Amino acid sequence: MKFIHGSPSETYCAPILGNGEISLTVGADGSMSPDGSGKLIHANIGRCIWWEGRRYRGFDTRPLIPFGRFTQKVGKLSPVESGQRLDPESAEISCSTVYGDGTRIETLALLHTDMNLIAVKKRFSPASRFRYEFSYTLCRADGEPNALFETSASDGVISWRALDQPDCAGVVSVFSDVGAETSSDSNRVTLSLEIGSECEAVFYILLADRKDHDSPESFADRVRADILADGFERLREYHRLVWADYFAEGHASVGDAAIDSVYRTALYHLKCYATKWSMPVGISDACWHGRFFAFDEHYMFQGLITSNHIKEARRVPEFRKNGLPIAIRRASSKGKKAARYPWETLEDGTEGAPIGFWNDHIFHMSMAALSEYEYYLYTLDAEFLRETSYPVISACAEFFTDQCLYRTDGRLIVGKCTDLERLGSGVENAYMTTCGVVSTLKIFAESARLLGVDSERAAECERLAAELLASLPNDGRRYLPYPGCTDRSISAFSGTFPFDVIDRSDPLQKNAIEDYLDYEDSFGNMYAVGSGVCSWYACWKSVVYSRLGMTDKAIDALGYVAGTAGDFDELFEINNRASRAYYHPWFTTAAGMYVHALDELLLRSEGNELFIASGLPEKYDGFDLKLAAKGGLTVEARAENGRLVKLAVEKNENCPYDSVTVHLPERFGGDRVVKL
């Protein structure tokens, strides 16, 4: 929601457009030119169109195929000042650029929500006559032709085919709503206009391939005809309605401009990357090429489901169920049903990670099980639990019990694995991983009880979980990341979040958290770089503070995160300006955690009791929320100037409650009963 004037900031990263399938960034001059903003930032998302599920076949890690970019030429003029804004609630990017002779070009860019159509509207206010060229080039991220593509172009359409996979082929159609002169070569289409007076033009780029269409050529021709007949404003109206519905479905705010703006951008960010498979960390070469991490998926899942975006959240547990046969085949033989999911999962369920000690993680299995179970807790969809979630939970639990547990010196422990990567490889009896295993075993036992199955195995898992809790590494004063560890780690928080297996009054947990905070500036980043705290670690803290009733600290942590946001209130994996450590802008994990952290601060539930704004400090005199609560409930509430002005609770078809008790701080009117 910000403008940038003149030179962009050091951490400038062009804002994203995404529709859950393709993703791109648009620079401040309204194009995807690598130098369109004046410079590229450290760890910039490449100026390229990326298409989820379209991957090279001849590489072990199956990187995404780049699908080029659009650029422009404004005669011989150069920009002298640019301004740019992202409007997350309408999913539009607007740019204003002034050129050396006083010419101004206004740009409005959007990406259609239902098809891979990019629309770029230009408004020209010329100070002198010039020739304007809008070009699309099907190229690699570095701008060079793709040697693994065969391309041809004519009449504004580029036909392409991947040489390493003949079934991967399609077209890119480039057209305009004005009579632009069209020229083509093998991998480029250029639309040219003579600009001598104030005018407008809309340029379109449509991508279609054989994965989605029997005849991408016919589809492109039909869409082009429909778009030109209907006009840009009708397309834009539909686009804005879809996004308005999304934000109306669920949201939260507390009246703090910075905190609320980051929340809106984070919600926008999550929808941009809600693919038909699951939630990747990002869709680009700078974000692990759109591969899926079960660990990160869960945080995005939580952000979506607590903010009442049930449809998008559901994709995470469904994806893990769809990939279960491969996960079982990867870990089991002779009739076993233990599953081990890849560390970086591809769309087909196979592994895409490069070789490294990160492949010895096992805690992501706990996150897969947790997403499955929490979907049930929020929806109470028993059929989904039985058919989709329980098989995943069961297979994850079997992996832990059959392959990960060891008895040593009379104790039950989790064997050597990679815990959080800053702690290194081959860590035995790791605190966070063990809490994850305990969580999965308890979740399995509870799910089995709900479904009335596997009672003996469930009892055994509960017994093993209790033994593991009794063996958690500690020095008598605090829990340790692993036995003998002298480093500190955010894993100290993990027994409370994400796994919630440690009693709130446990002094070892409390002391572990306090000890970590004493060393946070040295251990507060995902990687051993810089100082300070990375955004998603701070969100992690906020959730734990909410659960421990430390309300001031919970919202202060979110305020800290808001202060590390980028020029469009986007979150990075790491953005420590003081130490000049910048990693992975538009980092979806942080977006999901931020949304969930604010949601949990404003709403939590215990059975048919709802606690609204109990974590909101006295200095806040209002809030606005529409969020999901466990038990199949949706809660809407708004307070202004210390007075509650709206409260509504709805239940879904699975909810067993006839009424709920709503607990509100006294300054907002106190407790009340709401009939359902």
* 596 located within any domain: no
Are residues 223 and 99 located together in one domain of the fold?
yes
Residue 6 has pLDDT above 60, yes or no: no
> How far apart are alpha carbons 60 and 174 in whole angstroms?
33
* 571 located within any domain: no
* 321 located within any domain: yes
Q: What is the DSSP letter of 237?
A: H
> How far apart are alpha carbons 650 and 631 in whole angstroms?
11
Token look-up 């054989």 returns: 210
> How far apart are alpha carbons 111 and 22 in whole angstroms?
9
| Number of structural domains the chain divides into | 3
> How far apart are alpha carbons 492 and 507 in whole angstroms?
12
Q: What is the mean pLDDT of the segment spanning 640-669? A: 96
In 75-204, alpha helices (H)? none
pLDDT band at 615 (very low <50, low <70, confident <90, very high): confident
First to last CA, the chain: 38
Are residues 478 and 343 located together in one domain of the fold?
yes
Q: What is the mean pLDDT of the segment spanning 27-37? A: 77
**What's the pLDDT score for residue 576?**
67
In 351-430, alpha helices (H)? 363-379, 382-384, 390-403
Are residues 139 and 242 located together in one domain of the fold?
yes
Residue 526 C-alpha from the chain's centroid: 17
CA atoms within 13 A on the CB side of 566: 31
**What's the pLDDT score for residue 608?**
96
Give me the amino acid identity at 525: N
pLDDT band at 7 (very low <50, low <70, confident <90, very high): low
* 581 located within any domain: no
Domain with residue 226: its CATH number is: 2.70.98.40
- What are the CA-CA distances from residue 505 to residues 110, 163, 372, 512, 555 (Å)? 50, 61, 28, 13, 22
Greatest pairwise CA separation for the chain in angstroms: 85
Q: Residues 178, 141, 9, CA angle at the centre, nearest 5°?
A: 85
Give every CB contact of residue 319 below 8 A, 6+ residues apart in sequence: 277, 278, 292, 297
Give me the amino acid identity at 164: D
Please give the structure tokens belonging to residue 206: 């449509």
Is residue 301 within 8 A of residue 316, CB to CB? The reply is yes
- Residue 107 has φ and ψ, to the nearest 5°, of -125, 140
Q: What does DSSP say about strands 130-137 and 188-195: parallel, antiparallel, or unpaired?
A: antiparallel
Domain boundary among 518, 543, 578: 518
Q: What is the mean pLDDT of the segment spanning 277-289? A: 93
Nearest of 228, 222, 146 to residue 188 by alpha carbon: 146
Token look-up 């969100």 returns: 539
> How far apart are alpha carbons 653 and 616 in whole angstroms?
31
Are residues 356 and 457 located together in one domain of the fold?
yes
pLDDT band at 373 (very low <50, low <70, confident <90, very high): very high
Domain boundary among 503, 518, 533: 518
Lowest average pLDDT, out of 308-322, 337-351, 537-551, goes to 537-551
**What's the pLDDT score for residue 12?**
83
* 601 located within any domain: no
Nearest of 648, 663, 542 to residue 604 by alpha carbon: 663
Are residues 313 and 409 located together in one domain of the fold?
yes
Sort residue 308 into left (φ over 0), alpha (ψ -120 to 50) or beta: left
- pLDDT tens digits along 135-182: 999 999 888 999 999 999 999 999 999 998 988 999 999 999 998 999
**What's the pLDDT score for residue 43?**
40
- Answer positive or negative: Cα dihedral of 349, 354, 355, 361: negative
* 609 located within any domain: no
Give every CB contact of residue 556 below 8 A, 6+ residues apart in sequence: none
Task: Reduce the DSSP state of residue 492 to 3 states and report it.
Answer: helix
**What's the pLDDT score for residue 4?**
56
CB atoms within 10 A of CB 229: 8
Is residue 671 within 8 A of residue 663, CB to CB? The reply is yes
- pLDDT tens digits along 102-129: 999 999 999 999 999 999 999 999 999 9
Are residues 501 and 640 located together in one domain of the fold?
no
- pLDDT tens digits along 62-79: 999 999 999 999 999 998
- Answer positive or negative: Cα dihedral of 252, 258, 263, 269: positive
Q: Is 556 exposed, middle or buried (0-12, 13-18, 19+ CB in 10 A)?
A: middle
Residue 6 C-alpha from the chain's centroid: 30
Are residues 235 and 296 located together in one domain of the fold?
no
pLDDT band at 499 (very low <50, low <70, confident <90, very high): very high
* 506 located within any domain: yes
- pLDDT tens digits along 227-261: 999 999 999 999 999 999 999 999 999 999 999 99
- Residue 16 has φ and ψ, to the nearest 5°, of -95, 155
Please give the structure tokens belonging to residue 522: 């040295």
**149: which strand partners?**
162
Residue 629 has pLDDT above 90, yes or no: yes
Are residues 52 and 120 located together in one domain of the fold?
yes
Domain boundary among 518, 547, 564: 518
For the question of whether the overall pTM of this predicted structure is more than 0.85, the answer is yes
Q: What is the mean pLDDT of the segment spanning 551-559? A: 93
**What's the pLDDT score for residue 39?**
42
pLDDT band at 28 (very low <50, low <70, confident <90, very high): confident
Are residues 199 and 347 located together in one domain of the fold?
no
Domain with residue 446: its CATH number is: 1.50.10.10
**What's the pLDDT score for residue 42?**
39
Are residues 337 and 437 located together in one domain of the fold?
yes
**What's the pLDDT score for residue 1?**
44
* 536 located within any domain: no
Are residues 200 and 321 located together in one domain of the fold?
no
> How far apart are alpha carbons 126 and 201 in whole angstroms?
14
Residue 525 has pLDDT above 80, yes or no: no
Enclosing H/E stretch for 538: helix 535-547
- What are the CA-CA distances from residue 337 to residues 91, 259, 333, 392, 505 (Å)? 44, 45, 8, 10, 37
**What's the pLDDT score for residue 532?**
73
Average pLDDT over the chain reads 93
Alpha-carbon torsion, ordered 515, 519, 525, 530, to 10 deg: 180
Residue 313 C-alpha from the chain's centroid: 11
Nearest of 253, 257, 172 to residue 217 by alpha carbon: 172
Q: Identify the domain containing residue 629 by its residue range.
A: 623-675
Is residue 88 within 8 A of residue 265, CB to CB? The reply is yes
Are residues 215 and 311 located together in one domain of the fold?
no
